Amino acid sequence: MLKQVKVEVTARHIHLSRKDLDKLFGKGFELSFFKDLSQPGQFASNEKVSIVSKDGRIDNVRILGPVRSESQIEISQTDARFLKISAPLRLSGDLDGSSPIKLIGPNGFVDLEKGVIVSKRHFHCTPETSMELNLKNGDIVKVKVGEDGLRGLIFDNIEVRISDKFSDAIHIDTDEGNACSIGGICSIGEILN
Ligand SMILES: [Zn+2]
């Protein structure tokens, strides 16, 4: 199997529930559109909040829309160290036992009992590509990135997620992007297995 696929570096961000968006920005507040993301229907908003732990604070963390059923904060291991919290490595939506955090917005704050994760690297895969590559949901692939630079590397343990709501893209976080010097840039990777 060998296939070129887009690799995107995901910066720290927040997904909010309707309830938490109301508390942070005011009842009935709607997120305003900043830019589209690669996954259809998902967008970056103009709105930002602060994430606050007992020992640290990170301001200007962007909210992604649309609202979700549960609030979720995706940070890097570096951020977790800075905040002195331990955030588990999880796929999006898998929040049981994830870390608590305080969010502060322009209209108020929320103390979440859970919701902070470090995103497990993953492959948003369309059904067409999954058939072409003979992959099923939950499979693990390896991808080679950055080989044109001096810090090219191979990421293992990339979990395949298949949905007709996706477009093909591998998501890694800023620590992983920095490790192969593709931070901030959309790059092309090669699936190896
Ligand atoms: Zn993703």
Dump the DSSP string for 125-156: E-HHHHHHHT--TT-EEEEEE-TTSTT-EEEE
Tokens read off for 162: 């298949």
Amino acid identity of residue 99, one-letter, is S
CA–centroid distance, 15 to ligand 1, in Å, is: 12
Residues 144 and 146: their CA atoms lie apart, in Å, by 7
CA–centroid distance, 122 to ligand 1, in Å, is: 6
pLDDT in tens, 67-126: 999 999 999 999 999 999 999 999 999 999 999 999 999 999 999 999 999 999 999 999
Q: Would residue 13 be called left, alpha or beta, if left means φ above 0 and alpha means ψ between -120 and 50 degrees?
A: beta
CA–centroid distance, 77 to ligand 1, in Å, is: 17
Spatial CB neighbours of 66, under 8 Å, sequence gap ≥ 6: 31, 41, 42, 43
Q: How confident is the model at residue 185 (pLDDT cuts 50, 70, 90)?
A: low
Q: How confident is the model at residue 186 (pLDDT cuts 50, 70, 90)?
A: low
CA–centroid distance, 124 to ligand 1, in Å, is: 6
CA–centroid distance, 59 to ligand 1, in Å, is: 22
CA–centroid distance, 28 to ligand 1, in Å, is: 27
Report the relative pairing of strands 57-68 and 13-17 from DSSP bridges.
Answer: parallel
Q: How confident is the model at residue 59 (pLDDT cuts 50, 70, 90)?
A: very high
Per-residue pLDDT averaged across 44-60, rounded?
98
pLDDT in tens, 140-178: 999 999 877 788 999 999 999 999 999 999 999 999 999
Q: pTM, whole model, 2 decimals?
A: 0.93
